[in-house]
Amino acid sequence: MYVAGCSNIYRSGLAYPNPADEKITVPTDAEKIEVINQYGKVILNHPKSVDQLNLTNLPDGLYMLRITRDGKTETQRLQIKH
We report the CATH number of the domain holding residue 65 as 2.60.40.10
Residue 3 lies in a domain: no
Residue 2 lies in a domain: no
Residue 49 lies in a domain: yes
Count of domains in the chain? 1
Euclidean distance between CA atoms 35 and 32, whole angstroms: 10
Residue 1 lies in a domain: no
- Give residue-wise pLDDT tens across range 28-79: 888 999 999 999 999 999 888 788 999 999 999 999 999 998 889 999 999 9
The pLDDT of residue 13 is: 74
Residue 27 lies in a domain: yes
- pTM above 0.85? no
- The range of the structural domain enclosing residue 73 comes to 9-80
Residue 50 lies in a domain: yes
The pLDDT of residue 12 is: 61
> 24 pLDDT exceeds 90?
yes
CB 28 within 8 A of CB 51: yes
The string over 15-40, giving b where at least 16 C-beta atoms fall within 10 Å of a residue's C-beta and e elsewhere, is: beebebeeebebbeebbebbbbbeee
- Give residue-wise pLDDT tens across range 1-11: 445 554 444 45
Euclidean distance between CA atoms 80 and 30, whole angstroms: 21
